[in-house]
């Protein structure tokens, strides 16, 4: 029989209770077995016991639903690592034995034991909870708010923003007039989004309280006082130990040590909070971007976590903060979302493929990829001769934390795309690899090669182990889908471009290539820019042809007279409009023809015989002199300026 001696910490204990609450209703609903009248009462009681929130308890219960004999659908995603451990250890218990274990957990004294919960919340977990709340409602459906709830919302807002004028328009829209007479409307449709970030706001308030205590402990009247600026203007920051006066740094450390002498996890959370500042390119655990002297640091952080666009978010964070101030509003809005707007968990999109686009240079392979991807989520990389497996997947790299050099896993493009796809099952996610054959592709993929075999849904047929524990920790520390091994989800497309005829490319072996769908991009002259060119024959004569006409004549000449293979011809997008502004052929085309295409051919078949080097070709072109042979000029319909073999 399992006992509480097997339980390592309070989070595991709470997950065990939630697993029991996820059991089916036979012979009795699990909350009845525990002595609660309904599930909501059980959520509240368990949350109170562990110092959590009812929403967190319900979220964990829902995660277990699809794994038990419950009739509830639950979340359509794998268990997180901690939940998986609980499932592995305790799911095999008989119902009566499981009930006895849960009762013994809830009977543990809640003070001075290893089951006591830490005082500060894990903000990363809270943000995950907020995301789950956002996912619960369907923004396309009407949100109906009762008069009672509207009254509470308006009262809460006026209490926190007394200088704003506020009134209700109809039964669906708040009209807010700011002191500067700016009018803002917020509809009932937006209230679930404001509601979703309430746990995050409450978590930040808990940290704000400790920050205020720290300011007083350091001898300041408040963190916003001018005397406190040298300290709190540098918080949060990864460099605060070097930018703040050393005497103050020591005082901060001593205060934290005293405050959390018996709560090491909260100490860890608080130091992490002080040491990570959010930037656009560096999302952090707490998502706080403004210094702690600011009065609006919570509003700014809420704006980010809530997912509002800054240009259309006026008063939304303030409204969310007002809602958080009244716990009854939180519960009433939760009922609105649960009862009025239930949605089934998103099924994962299917159809992910591995596709290689190939063809002559300039045929529009990258353009074809862009057309397909559009505005969908994408991650792009370009393969090159020095590309390694660690560049593609990621590797440990040095980083500075608290003034000390440490090592942190830095993900590669593949890892970022993979995690994004797993965490967004209802989105198409694209990994784009330009010039895939400019590196040893099979070596760059390494063990990931195995993942390219997909079933009919687009999911990998096989799994591979994470290449390193650091990669595993980074991937599963995102707060999203948890995976024990690597697989490609069915909503991840891998699109690659290649031109096998280029110099400096590597062959792609058959075993690798057969795992890709291959799309040939043909030459289509209709997509070429129709801008004029001056191709000189006689000094006063030029062809009068446009680029789209010239490139077609050029390719036909190369095929007929030099036996050039199709994949080495010049694509219509080899030049764009900006390359043709002076009506001359740009150097990038001439160097391709001279060096890449005709390196081993008779160059004088295409070019004037008197041109011996690329330098001479370049000079003649720049001086608007003749560069093509009589034969090429004849095809263009233009006479040569003098006999073949002479130059001006």
The string of pLDDT tens digits covering residues 483-501 is 778 899 999 999 999 886 6
Same domain, 308 and 165: yes
Q: Is 530 helix (H, G, I), strand (E, B) or coil?
A: coil
Same domain, 479 and 537: no
Q: pLDDT at residue 638 above 90?
A: no
Confirm whether 645 is domain-assigned. Answer: no
Confirm whether 9 is domain-assigned. Answer: yes
Q: pLDDT at residue 621 above 70?
A: yes
pLDDT of residue 642: 46
CB half-sphere exposure, 532, CA atoms < 13 A: 5
Same domain, 332 and 384: no
How far is it, in rounded angstroms, from Cα 10 to Cα 125? 14
In sequence order, what are the residues at sequence separation of 6 or more whose Cβ sits closer than 8 angstroms to the Cβ of residue 519? 355, 356, 357, 358, 368
235-289 per-position pLDDT tens digit: 999 999 999 999 999 999 999 999 988 778 789 889 999 999 988 777 788 999 9
Closest CA to 99 of 27, 188, 195, 160: 27
User: From the CB of residue 16, how many other CB atoms can be counted at a distance below 10 Å?
Assistant: 24
511-537 per-position pLDDT tens digit: 888 889 888 888 888 877 787 777 776
Same domain, 140 and 244: yes
Closest CA to 67 of 135, 103, 20, 137: 20
Q: pLDDT at residue 505 above 60?
A: yes
CB half-sphere exposure, 641, CA atoms < 13 A: 21
Same domain, 394 and 293: no
Confirm whether 274 is domain-assigned. Answer: yes
Domain boundary among 345, 367, 401: 345
Burial 119-133 (b: 16+ CB within 10 A, else e): bbbbbbbbbbbbbbb
For CA atoms 72, 77, 82, 85, the dihedral sign is positive
Q: pLDDT at residue 539 above 70?
A: no
How many domains does the structure of the chain reveal? 4
Taking the CA atoms of residue 627, residue 632, residue 635 and residue 636 in that order, the dihedral angle to the nearest 10 degrees is -20
419-437 per-position pLDDT tens digit: 999 988 888 999 999 999 8
646 or 372: which leads in pLDDT: 372
Contact 622, 615 (CB under 8 A): no
548-592 per-position pLDDT tens digit: 888 888 888 888 888 888 778 888 888 888 877 777 788 888 888
Confirm whether 641 is domain-assigned. Answer: no
pLDDT of residue 544: 66
pLDDT-based confidence at residue 318 (cuts at 50, 70, 90): very high
Same domain, 178 and 274: yes
How far is it, in rounded angstroms, from Cα 257 to Cα 263? 9
Domain boundary among 520, 542, 567: 520
539 or 472: which leads in pLDDT: 472
Percentage of the chain beyond pLDDT 90 is 27
Write out the residue range of the structural domain in which residue 18 sits.
4-117
pLDDT-based confidence at residue 640 (cuts at 50, 70, 90): low
525 or 173: which leads in pLDDT: 173
How far is it, in rounded angstroms, from Cα 508 to Cα 605? 33
Confirm whether 339 is domain-assigned. Answer: yes
Q: Say if residue 312 is exposed, middle or buried (CB neighbours under 10 Å; 0-12, 13-18, 19+).
A: exposed
Confirm whether 501 is domain-assigned. Answer: yes
Same domain, 59 and 192: no
Per-residue DSSP letter, 592: I
Closest CA to 329 of 156, 170, 137: 156
581-620 per-position pLDDT tens digit: 777 788 888 888 888 778 777 888 888 878 888 888 888 8
pLDDT of residue 490: 92
Same domain, 112 and 162: no
32 or 53: which leads in pLDDT: 32
- Tell me the pLDDT of the chain averaged across its residues: 83
The highest-confidence range among 140-144, 364-368, 544-548, by mean pLDDT, is: 364-368
Query: Of 114-128, 228-242, 398-412, 483-497, where does mean pLDDT reach its minimum?
Result: 114-128
pTM above 0.75, yes or no: no
536 or 460: which leads in pLDDT: 460
pLDDT-based confidence at residue 343 (cuts at 50, 70, 90): very low
Percentage of the chain beyond pLDDT 70 is 88
Same domain, 180 and 321: yes
Same domain, 510 and 425: yes
Same domain, 484 and 543: no
Confirm whether 631 is domain-assigned. Answer: yes
């Amino acid at each position: 029989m399992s006992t509480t001696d097997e339980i390592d910490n309070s989070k595991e204990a709470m997950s065990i209770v939630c697993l029991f609450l996820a059991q089916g209703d036979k012979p009795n609903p699990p909350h009845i077995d525990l002595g609660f009248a309904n599930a909501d009462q059980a959520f509240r009681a368990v949350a109170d016991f562990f110092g959590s929130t009812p929403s967190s308890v319900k979220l964990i219960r829902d995660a277990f639903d699809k794994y038990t004999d419950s009739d509830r659908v639950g979340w359509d995603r794998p268990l997180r690592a901690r939940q998986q451990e609980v499932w592995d250890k305790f799911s095999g218990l008989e119902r009566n034995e499981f009930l006895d274990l849960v009762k013994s957990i809830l009977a543990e004294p809640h003070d001075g034991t290893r089951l006591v919960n830490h005082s500060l919340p894990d903000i990363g977990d809270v943000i995950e909870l907020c995301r789950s709340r956002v996912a619960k409602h369907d923004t396309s459906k009407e949100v109906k708010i009762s008069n009672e709830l509207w009254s509470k919302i308006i009262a809460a807002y006026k209490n926190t923003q007394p200088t704003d004028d506020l009134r209700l328009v109809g039964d669906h829209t708040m009209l807010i007039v700011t002191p500067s007479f700016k009018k803002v409307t917020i509809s009932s449709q937006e209230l679930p989004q404001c509601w979703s970030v309430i746990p995050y706001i409450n978590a930040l308030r808990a940290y704000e309280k400790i920050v205020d205590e720290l300011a007083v402990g350091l001898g300041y009247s408040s963190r916003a006082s001018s005397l406190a600026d040298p300290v709190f203007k540098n918080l949060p920051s990864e460099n605060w130990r070097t930018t703040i006066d050393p005497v103050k740094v020591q005082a901060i450390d001593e205060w934290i040590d005293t405050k959390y002498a018996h709560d090491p996890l909260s100490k860890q959370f608080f130091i992490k909070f002080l040491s990570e500042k959010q930037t656009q390119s560096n999302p952090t655990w707490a998502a706080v971007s403004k210094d702690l002297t600011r009065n609006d640091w919570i509003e700014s952080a809420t704006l980010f976590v809530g997912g509002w666009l800054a240009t259309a978010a006026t008063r939304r964070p303030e409204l969310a903060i007002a809602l958080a101030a009244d716990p009854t509003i939180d519960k009433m809005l939760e009922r609105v979302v649960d009862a009025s707007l239930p949605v089934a968990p998103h099924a994962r999109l299917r159809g992910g493929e591995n596709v290689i686009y190939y063809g002559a240079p300039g045929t529009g392979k990258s353009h074809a990829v862009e057309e397909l991807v559009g505005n969908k989520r994408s991650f792009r990389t370009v393969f090159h001769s020095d590309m390694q497996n660690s560049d593609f997947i990621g590797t440990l790299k040095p980083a500075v934390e608290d003034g000390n050099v440490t090592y942190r896993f830095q993900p590669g493009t593949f890892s970022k795309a993979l995690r994004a796809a797993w965490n967004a099952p209802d989105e198409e996610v694209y990994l784009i690899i330009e010039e895939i054959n400019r590196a040893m592709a099979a070596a760059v993929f390494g063990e990931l090669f195995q993942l390219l075999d997909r079933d009919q849904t687009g999911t990998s047929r096989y799994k591979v182990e994470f290449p390193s524990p650091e990669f595993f920790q980074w991937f599963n520390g995102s707060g999203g889908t948890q995976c024990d091994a690597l697989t490609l989800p069915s909503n991840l497309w891998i699109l690659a471009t290649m031109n096998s005829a280029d110099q400096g490319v590597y062959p792609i072996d058959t075993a690798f290539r057969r795992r890709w769908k291959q799309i040939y991009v043909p030459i289509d002259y209709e997509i070429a820019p129709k801008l004029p060119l001056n191709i000189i024959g006689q000094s006063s004569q030029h062809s009068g042809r446009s680029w789209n006409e010239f490139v077609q004549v050029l390719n036909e000449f190369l095929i007929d007279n030099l036996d050039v293979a199709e994949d080495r011809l010049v694509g219509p997008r080899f030049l764009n409009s900006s390359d043709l502004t002076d009506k001359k052929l740009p150097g990038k085309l001439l160097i391709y023809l001279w060096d890449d295409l005709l390196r081993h051919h008779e160059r004088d078949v295409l070019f004037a015989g008197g041109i011996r080097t690329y330098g001479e070709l370049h000079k003649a072109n720049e001086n608007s002199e003749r560069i093509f042979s009589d034969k090429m000029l004849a095809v263009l319909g233009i006479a040569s300026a003098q006999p073949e073999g002479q130059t001006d």
